[in-house]
Amino acid sequence: MAAFSLAERLRVGETVFSAWTTLASPLVVEAMAREGFGAVNLDAQHGMWDVGTLIAGIGAVRAAGAAPLVRVPPEDFGLVSRALDLGAEAIIAPMINTAADARRFVAAAKYPPLGERSWGPVRAMMLQGQTTATDYLREANAGTLTMAMIETPAALRNAAEIAGTPGIDCLFVGPYDLATSLSEGKAQDITAAEVERAVDAICAAAAKAGKIPGIYCRDPARAVAMAKRGFRFIAVASDLNIFREGTAAILNALKN
């Protein structure tokens, strides 16, 4: 498996579908990767992942042949560099509302001259089979991806500036927070006209800057539709929703 497979696939124009996980189970993320997802995101913002489980989960994803990603909590730029050191190939950072936020994200995620990431990718190099520090250092800035979440009116207004920030690789739409904030907390309708216009505007801003458009989708139908609209990194469903919906389907069949 290539050291930085996700960046390579996206930069040659592939559309990559990623699993999304919250349950902090290395076995679950490994199973999802082995079923064929090219990437698996470990959500440390709203999910149960902590540093200990991230170590095991990232290793399990990579062992199964997929690219591990981590979503960090807002403003937790310390975890950005730590997750990359643990072997994450991409970081999804929430609430990147301004170019200044984007620059702070880049500072934590990229080595000089783009950023200020501190050296110490011991686990990442081990997982990738690299033994020479300069080999990892030479490839890391291009190979590890920064995905800036656009999920507020401020971020929407500043999407072009965020996308244009050197070192930002992807604009990633958080549709539910975007719908919540655009409606001033009155609704979470991701198909509302205002939200759909915003989604297309963010996709266009990323493409214009030569960056990767990304988005979260709750179900496969929405994911396929977003791919047709130009998104190339698409996270689909979540482990907990898959488990609950699968359980409900089994129980419904047993009752009927």
Query: Which residues are catalytically annotated?
Result: 46
Q: What distance in Å separates the CA atoms of residue 199 and residue 207, rounded to the nearest whole number?
A: 12
Q: What distance in Å separates the CA atoms of residue 237 and residue 65, rounded to the nearest whole number?
A: 20
DSSP assigned state of 48: S
> Which run of H or E residues covers position 56?
helix 51-63
How many helices (DSSP H) and strands (DSSP E) are in the chain?
13, 8
Q: Over 8-43, what HEC string results?
A: HHHHCCCCEEEEEECCCCHHHHHHHHHCCCCEEEEE
Q: What distance in Å separates the CA atoms of residue 147 and residue 167, rounded to the nearest whole number?
A: 10
Q: Specify the 3-state DSSP secondary structure of 153.
A: helix
Q: What is the DSSP string of 137-151?
A: HHHHHHHSEEEEEE-
CB 87 within 8 A of CB 128: yes
CA nearest 230: which of 252, 204, 198, 196?
A: 204
Q: What distance in Å separates the CA atoms of residue 254 and residue 256, rounded to the nearest whole number?
A: 6
